[in-house]
Every structure is written in C-alpha cells, then in structure tokens.
A and B are shown apart, each in its own frame.
Chain A
Amino acid sequence: MSTLKTSIQDKIGNFPRRLEDESIYIMREVAAQFERPALLFSGGKDSITLVRLAQKAFFPGKIPFPLVHIDTGHNFPETIEFRDWLAKETGAELIVRYVQDSIDQGKVKEESGKYASRNVLQTVTLLDTIEEFKFDACIGGARRDEEKARAKERIFSVRDDFGQWDAKRQRPELFDMLNGRISVGENVRVFPISNWTELDVWNYINEEHMEIPSIYFSHQRQVIERDGMLWADSEHLNKEADEIPFEAIVRFRTVGDMTCTAAVASNAVDIDVIIEEILSAEISERGARIDDKRSEAAMEKRKQQGYF
C-alpha cells in the first residue's frame, strides 16, 4: 500500500483542466436555457470558484445573471467584505436578502440552546427570494464529493414549488446534454462544479491566482473548545459558563456561519500549505460542519426541504 500513498508533490499544481471546460459549458447552458438565472453566492471558496467560471464563460461580456447572497446575519465579517469586493471587481449585480427579515416577519423562529444556528432558517429566506425574483435557475457550488447524499445529485436538479428535491424523480443526464425544461412554479438548481473535489477547487484557486477571504488562511482568533472542535467566539454563539474563550492560531476549511463552522488549528499562510494540509488531513471538509453531524441522514433531510 505504501507504493500507492499519494505523494503531496505529485498533486500540487495538478488541476485537471477538463473540469473547467465542463463547468464553463454548464454556465453557458444556464444562461441560454433559462430566463432568470441567479448564482447563489455564499462567500465560500466554492461559490468564488463559480464566479470565476461564470466570468470566464462570458468574457469579454459580463456575467449575465446576478449574484444572490442569503445573509444569515451570522456571517464572518471578512466574508461580507470579500463579497462586496468581488461584486465590484467583476461588475456583477449583487442581490442580498436577510434571514433577519424572515425572522422579523415571523416566518421562521430563531433556534435556542448552545447549538442554535441560522443555517436551517436560511432555506425559507432563499425560497422567498427565488419567488420574489422569479428565478428559474439557481447556480450553486455543491460538489458530489462533499457528502453521501450529494453524490447522487444531478447537474440540473429540478425542484418543485416548495423547493423540494426528490431523489427518485431525477432526470437521467446523458452525455453532456442538459435538459432544463420546467413547468411554471418549478425551478432548477444547477451545480457546475459537481465533479470537482475539494482538492480540485484548491488547485484551481492556486493556478488561477484567485483571491479568497482571509479566514481561509491561518490567523489569530478568540475561540472556544466544544465537542473536540474549535468554535469562533462571537456575539452570535450561545456559550455555556465553562466555555471560556482563548486565543488560538486557526483557519477555516469551509466558510459557513460563525455558529456552524468549526476552525482547525493551522499555520497555513498560503495555498500550497493549505493543499498539503488537505492531503494529509485526518478530517474531511464537512467533518468541520456542525450542522451535518446532527444525524447520519442530516444532509439528505435538509435537501428534501430545499436546502442547497
């Protein structure tokens, strides 16, 4: 087995370029097949990659659809800053809708307890936003390697009026032919980087010299330790009396809300080191997502309800 142990050197700077061609093809199909597409932007590396791909797909034209951000109010400030910078840089239209508004309207109720997060609540705000703008296609950065339920997702995934996903009603996707025909009220979630792995994304960011939010790199931060993981201390986190914040050198592998993304202790200050870390990592990317751990079938249940 030792002969197969993948050498780190072999993988650095080794992005399979065909993946980019396929994703650009998908972006162009979305723009051509739908009347009102949108790119769901979370501020994380996957959606930043999507923006890059959309830029490339339509260059020298502008990205022909808006970036939509569902702001939970629990985002890292660095993410918001980056989002605004990227929209300006690319000239793309940015639409922001707030989970706080859904809470104020009484449509959703804030969770309580120490694991309270707004991650589940954002589904409602997202569905309302889709309805408000009559989006017929929403581009997302989900990847099939992230989680078991996502491994079965199609590239064009049809959702009903309630945003629901039905594993058994999925359309077969043959060769590269994408069928985006839908009935009134339905919409399609599109996943252009379905076939990318976490490593592919990092190699791409590296080779393309892309900017990413600073929290992906190691920095000093006040954290608490909970369930063997490091949580960013913030006003949004419900701490127990014995959870005393302390300073640590950390970085984030995924960027979700401050209340549901754990940090990892890390000294990675550039992308090469991040890639090395991933290759030797003992914890998978979503392993640091607290929301996935609620139950074994957690992701699939949230997907059926319209979460991305």
Chain B
Amino acid sequence: MDILRIATAGSVDDGKSTLIGRLLYETNSITKDKIEALESASKRKGLDFLDLSLLTDGLIAEREQGITIDVAHIYFSTPTRKYIIADTPGHVEYTRNMVTGASNVKVSLILVDARQGVVEQTARHLSIACLLRIPKVIICINKMDLVQYQQSTFESIQNSLTELIAQTTFEGQEISFLPISSLYGQNITQAAEHMPWYQGNTLLGELEAFEFAETQSKAAARFPVQFVIRPMTEAYHDFRGYAGKISSGTFQVGDAIRVLPTGQESTIASIEKFDQKLSKAEAGDSVVITLSTDIDISRGNTLVKASEEMAPQLKDFSAQVCWLDHQALSAGKTYLLQHGIHITKAKISQITERLDVVAQTSTENVDSLKLNEIGRISLRTAQAIHADQYADNPANGAFILIDEFSNSTVGVGFVS
C-alpha cells in the first residue's frame, strides 16, 4: 500500500477544515463516538447541521478564534492508498507553517472561495507549491453553492490564474481545477448533482488516479550515513555497518561507491534491513550498508556510486530561501546550515533578491528578509556540502538554517 501526502492551503474561511471533515466523513473515517461529539458540539454552537470543520480545528486558541493556527496532520485511507493530509494555515502570518506542511508532499490542494475569486493568498500558495516543486496541484473552487453552481464563475476563476500558472509551473507538474461544495458534499467523493456541466473527476477520484513517478529513485544515488553500527559482540566482532535512509537513486550489492567528502572508494558488500539481506535498495529505504574494505566513515558522510555523477561540492553558492522566523534574515549573519543530516556553519554573504510571489516581481540586493518572505541569497559554508540542484534532486537539494543562539529552525533553502 502506498502513501500519498497532501498539503491543503487556502485563506481564512475558504472552508478548508470543512473540506477535510467532509473527506473524512464520506470515506467513513470517523467513528461513531466522534460523530456524536461533533453533533453535540455543533448544537452548542447553535448550528442545525454537522459542523465538519470541528473535526480538525484542534487547539483551544483555534476554537476561540475560529481559525486553524498550526499544521495539523490528518489520516484516512481507501483500499488503494493511505492518505496523510498536512492541513496548513492560510492567513499570511503563518506562511511558514504552510511551507512546512507542504515540504514532502506530492499533492497541494489550494482552496478558492468561489465568491471571492483569486486573492493574494491563492497566488502565494500556488507560487510556493511551484517553488517546492510539488508535482500535482489541485485548485478547488469551493462554496459553489453560494454562486448558484455557475459554470461561468468557475471558468472565470480558472482563467484568472492562467498567467500566473504559466510563470510559475515547471515541466511535469499537473495542475487541475475542480468546482466543489464542501458543505453540501458536491464533487468531494461523489459527482456533483448540481453541476452537470462538470464532467471531470471528483476530488477523491483525482487523488486516487494520481500516479506519481518516484523522481527520487531515478535521481543519482545518495546515501547519507546517519549512524555507524559496531556491535562489538562475539557474533558480530568485526561488523561495521553504515545505517541511513537512501535519499535518492538505487544501490546494489557489488556497486563501486565513493565516500563524500573524503573521496575514498570501496564496494558494497551487503545491504541489510534488520535480519534480511537485500540485493538492492532504493530511495526511501532505511538500510544498513557494509563495505568490502575497512575505511573510515562517520556520520554526515555520503555514499555515492562511482559510476554516477558526484553531488557537486559547494562552499560558495546561491540558493532560494523562505524565511520562517520573527527575527529577520540579515546579510552578513552566520547561521548553522543543516543539509540532510550534515551540519556546518554558514555565513550569508548577500541577499541578492527579494521575490514578490504574488506579483512575480523581485527587488535586487536587499538588507533583510522578514518572516514569510522569499528571496535569493548567496552564502559561504565552513565545510563544503555535497548538494544537488533542488530541481533535479529535491531530497539532496534542500537545507535548513538554524539560529545558533535560539536553536530554532529559522529558514529553508533550495539550492538553485
């Protein structure tokens, strides 16, 4: 059974929580006691219908303000797939959570209120979905019930996004538009009886049909060593295994490998997963690799295949960043850069550009990037990192920046 990860995004009151609640409800993912709790909570609010948004709006503060303020993870499954939804907040001050929720997903669901049409947040979320290179974007035009299910409204919203899509999309990305009503369950898991003019998939149909190519498995092989296993017991006296999760490509027993950054070479003697011996393993597999020769490898080193292109060694480079902290990013400041599991110091030499993701314009050479802003920086690291271009190999092309004093994760970068 595979897992499809989805991120939802939208402005406040676009009905995101209701949409998710509706998906859970119609896929029979809610148990009877939870529905009963929902009924009584809805009644307490004076509603005469089941408020499905209450299912996911978890925190006390949220219930008071009636908005979602943090990334919540929601689970449901169908006979074909397990789905993980990262429900991310829509209002502007929490864009950082949206980026967080959207990293790692294959599908981005963007909600648009049919009455409002495209707003600034729509453009922001679409641009971020493209920046993160999310392979599928589904733009749900919600609350169609409030515009009499008119085809013309749906189409005019669709048309107003054409230009932005042309500017931000990338090769291989699928973008589709769906007219829906979460409140009345139109086009969520069942065809919309009120919109005979729409012949496409329902939302669930669209998700079930999406086949994502495993881009990470096709990229060049990268194996960051997380942990060196040396049991030193009688049975495994000389055992030295390198534990890690393959971040891209495939490795096979017998492959000639090279260690980065040391440049040492060896051959894969075994690939193990607990008590199983495997002949090969691919991106996403957590395994233990042993080598035919005894060489010195430690955490943070990366194994690559000698036959493939090495990950470029970067020390002075440029990257796109999204800033996630209240304290702004300023040129000249030093941070800790974590690339995969490898940490080194990094100095921001310059902020070469600040991007306005809504207008798709940029300002050159700025002093700082504030919370939720996106820009391009040039930076210099203390130790070189072996990173690929984010577009070619997302798992080996992203990094985070950590504040040395607060220890917080303050930014995310994409090598490009």
Contacts and interface: CB of A to CB of B under 8 A. Distances in A.
Contact of A297 (B34, B60, B84, B244): B60
Please classify the interface of chain A as helix (H, G, I), strand (E, B), loop, or mixed, using the class held by over half of its residues. loop
Given A18-B2, A172-B324, A59 B288 contact: yes
A190 B93 CA distance: 27
Contact of A16 (B58, B78, B82): B82
Interface in A133-163: 144-145, 148-149, 151-152
A151 B2 contact: no
A194 interface: yes
A29 interface: yes
Contact-residue size bin, chain B (C-beta under 8 Å from the other chain): 35 or more
A6 B81 CA distance: 11
Contacts of B189: 1, 4
B75 A181 contact: no
B79 A6 contact: yes
A171 B243 contact: no
Contacts of A25: 226, 244-245, 286
B213 interface: no
Contacts of B2: 16, 18
Please classify the interface of chain B as helix (H, G, I), strand (E, B), loop, or mixed, using the class held by over half of its residues. mixed
B239 interface: yes
Contacts, number: 184
B252 to A, nearest CB: 18
Interface string B307-340: 0000000000000000010000000000010101
Interface residues of A, number: 62
A24 interface: yes
Contacts of B288: 59
Given A4-B26, A283-B33, A57 B409 contact: no
A196 to B, nearest CB: 9
B95 to A, nearest CB: 11
A300 interface: yes
B389 interface: no
B71 interface: yes
B72 interface: yes
Interface stretch (B162-170, B344-352, B400-408): B400-408
Given A6-B77, A174-B100, A16 B3 contact: yes
Given A6-B27, A7-B79, A28-B243, 7 more contacts: A5-B28, A57-B286, A61-B229, A145-B75, A149-B59, A172-B412, A297-B63
For the complex of A and B, 8 pairs with smallest distance between CB atoms: A148-B58, A10-B79, A282-B32, A172-B100, A181-B407, A24-B286, A61-B231, A21-B286
19 contacts: A1-B26, A4-B204, A22-B245, A25-B286, A29-B226, A32-B227, A60-B233, A61-B229, A145-B74, A148-B57, A167-B70, A177-B338, A177-B341, A179-B407, A181-B336, A197-B77, A282-B31, A284-B31, A297-B60
